[in-house]
Structures are given as C-alpha cells and as structure tokens.
Structure 1
C-alpha cells in the first residue's frame, strides 16, 4: 500500500480540497492520498468518497471508515482506484516520486491530453489537486468535445 499512496506529512490537509468545494456532497476532509493524485476523503456523515482527478467526479465508496478500511484489502478495489500497474510502468520509466508529490498528466486528459507515459510528470500534490479542481469546475457544463478557448488557473 505504501507504493500506491503518499504520506500526508507536510501537506496542508485542511486546504487541499478547497478547489473542489463546488462538487462536494458534504464537507470533506482527505484521509488517503494516492500516488496517482486522487484523494479519498471522509465527510461529516462518516461516508468516504473517492475524488477522481481525471474524471472530475466525487463518488461515494463506503458508508464509514471501517467499511473503507475493509475495501483497502480488496484487490479489485485497489486496482480500480490506485492503478498499481500504472505506477510500476511510471517507475520503470524513471519517474520517481519525491515527498508530497504525485503522478499528474502534464496536459490534463479533460483538456485533450494523452494517457501515455510521456504526458505524466511528478507534481506537488497540492498543485495537482488544486489545478484539477479549478479545471473541472470550469468545464463541467460543457458538452463532450466542446472547444475550450481558455482556462483560468488561480
């Protein structure tokens, strides 16, 4: 599991999801950061959600913390949400994570980027999560295939 996640040490967990508030079903606090840049967060209700940076969606995955802990032992769940084979591929390509960094598409897929190794870079987790939240907020109401003239990143 250590190869599939990053340590939250040094990450401002109180601010990490501030650019995702527009999509939250309830106030959320990060509980697990994946090496691929996605976030598992727990709501005030106790429910645990998966914040998918590529899709720009927040999905409920467990009703409570113990249920979520149980899912982390499920090979299919881990494969579907943490992409171990992709992490191995990136490491074999020489892309190694520094502390507080995740794998991130240099050109986000939602903006036409390719999902290949050459389009993946190592990025600070706070920058990665923030930029993806801002991009997805701005494109959420556009139809598939719409032309995007500009994106504003703050």
Structure 2
C-alpha cells in the first residue's frame, strides 16, 4: 500500500485529502500537501494530523520558524533513538511505543522502530478513538492479539 493511500485510510476522519508527501522526518512525521493546496503535519508521537499552512507561501514562512524546526527535526530524540535502535533501514522510522499524548516519555526507554505504514496506521487509529476526549481524560488500553 502506498503512503498516500494509508494516510487516506487512516486519517481521512481528520479531514485530510492527501495529494503528496512533501517532507518526512526520522520519527515518521509527515508534511503533506492536500488536494486543496494546504499543508498538513501528521505527527504520530502526538497523534494528530492538522493544517499548518494554507499555501506554499505560508509553509515557506513556517520553515523558517525556529520552534517549528526544533520540533520537526527532534535532534536530541533522534540521537537517543540511533544509540538505542541503530540506523534506520528502508521504510522504517523511529516511534514512541506509547505516544506522548497518552503519557509516553520522550526518551530512549520508549523508542523503537517500525515500518512507516504501520506508524501511520496505528497513530490514525488511536487519534480517531481519542479525538473527542477532553485533555486529561482517563483511557484504558486493551491489547488484542
């Protein structure tokens, strides 16, 4: 399955109509252009996919914002991930085993690797399930094998 198709299937509930992935980082964050020319940030570790720029000019401005760039490149966390898991192989990304939005720690103890397609799928499924919950709501994870 293509990345665009997986984004459609896993994140369409958020309103995205993806056309092209224009950027990605080592943690599977994606910058996605939609069919309307808007740019979305899919952030698996915080389980969201939202519009960050309404057009290319706004994206260009965002790409000079130092806070955004620090968040995007995640340099310290990437170094921890490389030390723990080694270099990434084709199609794989680092990810937080327990997403930050669910209380997962942003450190090596909570990092592993997985295929990007699975990271997109899992974060979309979790996001859809917790979308309507207020901040601080209690959740219960059930593992089904």
TM-score category (smaller protein): 0.7 to 0.9
2:6 matched to 1:16?
yes
Taking structure 2 as the reference length, what is the TM-score of the superposition?
Answer: 0.80
The Cα of 1:142 is off from its aligned counterpart by 1.9
Could you say which residue in structure 1 is the equivalent of 2:138? 147
Could you say which residue in structure 2 is the equivalent of 1:5? none
Figure out how many residues of one structure are paired with residues of the other and give that number.
141
The Cα of 1:94 is off from its aligned counterpart by 4.5
Unaligned segments of structure 2, at least 5 residues: none
The Cα of 1:64 is off from its aligned counterpart by 2.9
Of 88, 91, 94, the residue aligned with 1:97 is 88
Partner of 1:36, secondary structure, is coil
Pairwise CA RMSD: 2.5
Q: What is the distance in 2 between the residues matched to 1:57 and 1:94?
A: 25
Could you say which residue in structure 1 is the equivalent of 2:120? 129
Deviation sequence 1:75-131 (CA, Å, 0-9, x none): 713222221232123223353211111111112223332222111001110001110
2:68 matched to 1:48?
no
Q: What is the distance in 2 between the residues matched to 1:88 and 1:68?
A: 26
Please say if residues 85 and 112 of structure 2, whose CA atoms lie closer than 8 Å, have aligned partners that are also in contact. Answer: no
Unaligned segments of structure 1, at least 5 residues: 1-10
Q: What is the distance in 2 between the residues matched to 1:32 and 1:38?
A: 8
Structure number having the greater helix percentage: 2
Change (3 A) 1:146 1:42: same
The Cα of 1:36 is off from its aligned counterpart by 1.2
Q: What is the distance in 2 between the residues matched to 1:13 and 1:101?
A: 12
